[in-house]
């Protein structure tokens, strides 16, 4: 992709993200649409446009945008999650379940079996199908451990489901951002996301909400569907006094996590609301 064109594309995305976070939803639609015209083969502008349409209460336009995103990136996690959530809202559970089955298969291929099983079970709950039951049955079978040279298996190692809290003094956020850029270039998106989330936390702790918000834009570009990203955005919105926007963000996150069965992310969202939004009704925790 030519350099100047890509810079225009990124600028349009940033304008869209800024407008969406500020509650200027029509401006967000315009900016994201401009990004889609500049680079028509990327799904992200359409996924982002859908979020803006949804904030405006225009579900048909939101679904059309998510359909365009799915056509461009049929296995994209954020696209599948968001379209399944909207289809479920519209009462189209069979189609929502199909998206969740596909998402579970994506997780399975990525060796994320626990998430795959949780999402597959949710798909069957929404609309039982033979393929859904087959997927659940396959995922419920334990994967045998890799044998070592003497025929014994290595003991299982429990990996943390979320990034551990950094210990010691905060790291330099500029260094964290530089390291994140290197990880993006190497294709290690999860590592880049965690580095940027840490940098957001450092800026927030130092009382720099604008710098934290700038990094949230970068996070939306590389991990638009990850719950930790949206929790970080909600925290920054609260830092800036945007309680209404943060409450909307948390409600949407709880809705999506109830559909996919991510109870940890839902619990984190409720904990944030309980701590910082005591006067805003968020609603009960919905189990997936």
* 107-119 tens-digit pLDDT: 888 888 888 999 9
Q: Give the pLDDT score at 121.
A: 94
CATH class, 173-276 region:
mainly alpha
Q: What is the pLDDT of residue 160?
A: 37
Record the pTM: 0.60
Residue 126 parent element (H or E): helix 113-126
User: Rounded CA gap, 184 and 179, in Å?
Assistant: 9
Q: Is 284 exposed, middle or buried (0-12, 13-18, 19+ CB in 10 A)?
A: exposed
What is the mean predicted confidence (pLDDT) over 122-147?
A: 86
Q: What pLDDT score was predicted for residue 287?
A: 36
Give which of 31, 75, 59 is closest to 217, Cα–Cα: 31
Residue 156 has pLDDT above 60, yes or no: no
> What's the confidence (pLDDT) of residue 285?
38
All CATH 1.25.40.10 domain ranges in the chain, comma separated: 1-73
pLDDT band at 169 (very low <50, low <70, confident <90, very high): low
Tell me whether residue 146 is exposed, middle or buried, using C-beta atoms within 10 angstroms of its C-beta: 0 to 12, 13 to 18, 19 or more. Answer: exposed
What are the Cα distances from residue 107, in Å, to 42, 88, 101, 112, 162?
21, 20, 10, 5, 16
Q: What are phi and psi of 112, to 5 degrees?
A: -110, 65
pLDDT digits (tens, 9 = 90+) for 31-72: 999 999 999 998 888 988 988 898 888 999 999 999 999 999
Please name the CATH architecture into which domain 1-73 falls: Alpha Horseshoe (1.25)
């Amino acid at each position: 992709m030519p350099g100047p064109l890509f810079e225009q594309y990124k600028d349009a995305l940033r304008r869209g993200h800024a407008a969406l976070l500020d509650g200027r939803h029509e401006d967000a639609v315009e900016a994201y649409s401009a990004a889609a015209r500049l680079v028509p083969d990327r799904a992200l502008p359409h996924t982002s446009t859908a979020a803006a349409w949804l904030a405006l209460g225009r579900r048909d336009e939101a679904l059309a945008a998510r359909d365009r995103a799915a056509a461009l990136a049929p296995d994209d996690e954020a696209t599948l999650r968001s379209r399944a959530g909207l289809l479920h809202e519209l009462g189209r559970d069979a189609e929502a379940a199909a998206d969740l089955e596909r998402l579970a298969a994506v997780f399975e291929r990525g060796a994320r079996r626990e998430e795959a099983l949780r999402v597959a079970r949710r798909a069957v709950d929404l609309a039982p199908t033979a393929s859904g039951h087959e997927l659940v049955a396959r995922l419920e079978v334990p994967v045998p451990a890799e044998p070592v040279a003497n025929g014994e298996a290595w003991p299982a190692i429990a990996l943390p489901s979320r990034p551990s809290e950094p210990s010691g003094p905060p790291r330099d956020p500029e260094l964290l951002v530089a390291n994140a850029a290197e990880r993006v270039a190497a294709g290690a998106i999860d590592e880049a996301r965690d580095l940027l989330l840490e940098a957001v936390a450092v800026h927030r702790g130092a009382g720099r909400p604008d710098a934290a918000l700038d990094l949230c834009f970068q996070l939306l570009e590389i991990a638009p569907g990850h719950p930790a990203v949206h929790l970080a955005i909600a925290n920054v919105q609260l830092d800036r006094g945007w309680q209404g926007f943060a409450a909307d963000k948390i409600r949407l996150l709880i809705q999506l996590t109830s559909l996919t069965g991510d109870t940890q992310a839902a619990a984190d969202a409720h904990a944030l609301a309980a701590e910082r939004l005591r006067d805003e009704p968020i609603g009960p925790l919905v189990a997936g």
